Amino acid sequence: MSPPRFEDHERQVHTILGAALAACEPGRCVRDSVARDPVMVPNPAVIAVGKAAPAMYRGFVEACGEPTARFMLTVEQPGVPGWARTGDHPTPTPRNVGHADALAGFMGDPAHRSFLVLLSGGASALLCSPGPGISVGALADLSRRLMLAGADIRELNTVRTHVETLKGGGAALLAGTRPVELLVMSDVIGDDPEVIGSGPWSSCSSRPADALAVLACRGINATPEVLRVLQDTEFDERHRLREKARVPGRIVGRNATAVLAAQESARGLGFRSGVGLDLDGGAASLGATVVRGALDRGPGCWVSGGESTVSVGGGTGRGGRNQELALAAAIEIDGREGIAVATFATDGIDGPTDAAGAIVTGGTCERARRMGLDPAAFLARHDSYAFFTRVGGHLRPGPTGTNVCDLAVVLLY
């Protein structure tokens, strides 16, 4: 096999990312898992919640047949069945609260003798059930401020867990003594069931003090209604009941699934390939760090997985963590030949944009300067979407139907 050529980098990136998406396709993940380890609960009513709900449900039906009863809550996307409920993401809305109430009604129906839950990323916003006295508007504002402050998914979900009723095992309590089984597509590094979707069917080890610590760390002043719930000992006592609510479950797909598939695809293209650095921390600094890590290892394809953050501060631009990471990487490799970097949100949606990420090379910044644009200025105001719209390089697959965090691929020739 002839060695890979830089001239083919765009085709190679699409091949590698396509292989990663195929490996973590939720229907495939559910089918494979159930084939290896059959569902244990008898004749379950099926609940599918999250961005990957439609595909996970299809995988279950292909493996086990149609269930006796079903409930689905997901985002608007292709392939959603007509009977499903669609909600809003990433911040909760009144219709999400209505959907959470409907789930409580579904689980409260005594005709359902057991439950199988298909859970994926996005469930935190979709299953919104405010604590006593908290408005959905206050929850939405709190989520928005945490995200703008650069809170990671663990911090964000720690706060959500202690100001809502279904998170941190609250949904599990609705089943009473009826058996529940859980299949999960993990959208968090470490696959902690307490963090995925804020753990509606998992026990909770954090306390309200932990939520207050997150708010203090991120410089966020909670509204009086939020503070009342976090300091409400009676609500905390009810929350303590959820500590015993963990139900049997398994992870059927995760970020590592995508990373390993990307590596294998790269080897098939002739690259030496391996795992890069974890994507954990600020996107702007990670762009340079990921590149330097690849340069230290030499020619090959180096695949990083995880989820970065963006602390917007006073920034006025538009973008997402993957586009910001790509722009920072472009600045780091400015003028260097024989290198390409691609960043990608596996759900196909990076921030409030229609892009999943971007591809950059050592020529990206020079192309921008010829257009009279300053890459560093775009990065400083967190305006990566506008940068790539003008300069080129966006990856736009549309919603992918899965959600296992992000990938960064460095191709070094």
The per-residue pLDDT for 276 is 86
Closest among 202, 22, 231, 228 to 124, alpha carbons compared: 202
Statement to judge: residues 285 and 142 lie in one domain: no
Statement to judge: residues 212 and 261 lie in one domain: no
Q: Is there a domain that residue 8 lies in?
A: no
In terms of Cβ atoms closer than 10 Å to its own Cβ (0-12, 13-18, 19+), residue 83 is: exposed
Q: Is there a domain that residue 159 lies in?
A: yes
Q: Is there a domain that residue 333 lies in?
A: yes
The per-residue pLDDT for 20 is 98
The per-residue pLDDT for 211 is 94
Q: Is there a domain that residue 20 lies in?
A: no
Q: Is there a domain that residue 78 lies in?
A: yes
The per-residue pLDDT for 135 is 94
Domain boundary among 253, 274, 307: 253
Statement to judge: residues 315 and 215 lie in one domain: no
Q: Which two tokens stand for residue 59?
A: 């995988």
Statement to judge: residues 239 and 297 lie in one domain: no
DSSP string, 151-182: --HHHHHHHHHHHBSSTTTHHHHTTTTS-EEE
Statement to judge: residues 270 and 237 lie in one domain: no
The per-residue pLDDT for 236 is 67
Could you give the number of structural domains in the chain? 2
The per-residue pLDDT for 69 is 98
Statement to judge: residues 219 and 291 lie in one domain: no
User: Is the pTM above the cut of 0.75?
Assistant: yes
Q: Is there a domain that residue 9 lies in?
A: no
Alpha helices in 252-356 (DSSP H): 255-268, 283-297, 321-332
Statement to judge: residues 106 and 119 lie in one domain: yes
Q: Are 56 and 62 in contact (CB under 8 A)?
A: no
Statement to judge: residues 192 and 328 lie in one domain: no
Amino acid found at 161: T
| Residue ranges in the chain whose pLDDT is less than 50 | none
E strand or H helix at 9, and its extent? helix 9-23
Statement to judge: residues 277 and 331 lie in one domain: yes
- Cα 160 to Cα 278: distance, rounded to the nearest angstrom: 25
- Cα 52 to Cα 74: distance, rounded to the nearest angstrom: 7
CA distances from 174 to 40, 130, 166, 247, 412 (A): 19, 16, 9, 12, 52
Domain containing 407 equals: 255-412
Statement to judge: residues 235 and 374 lie in one domain: no
Statement to judge: residues 221 and 276 lie in one domain: no
Amino acid found at 391: V
What value does the mean pLDDT of the chain take? 94
Neighbours of 355 (CB within 10 A): 26
CATH number at residue 275: 3.40.1480.10
Domain boundary among 212, 232, 253: 253
The per-residue pLDDT for 238 is 65
Closest among 121, 113, 101 to 45, alpha carbons compared: 113
Statement to judge: residues 197 and 241 lie in one domain: yes
Distance of CA 378 to the CA centre of its chain: 25
Neighbours of 352 (CB within 10 A): 10
Q: Is there a domain that residue 10 lies in?
A: no
CATH number at residue 241: 3.40.50.10180
Domain boundary among 253, 284, 303: 253
Q: Is there a domain that residue 12 lies in?
A: no
Angle at 395 (CA atoms; ends 389, 399), nearest 5 degrees: 115
Neighbours of 141 (CB within 10 A): 14
For the stretch 217-266, pLDDT in tens is 999 998 999 999 998 877 766 666 666 666 888 999 999 999 999 999 99
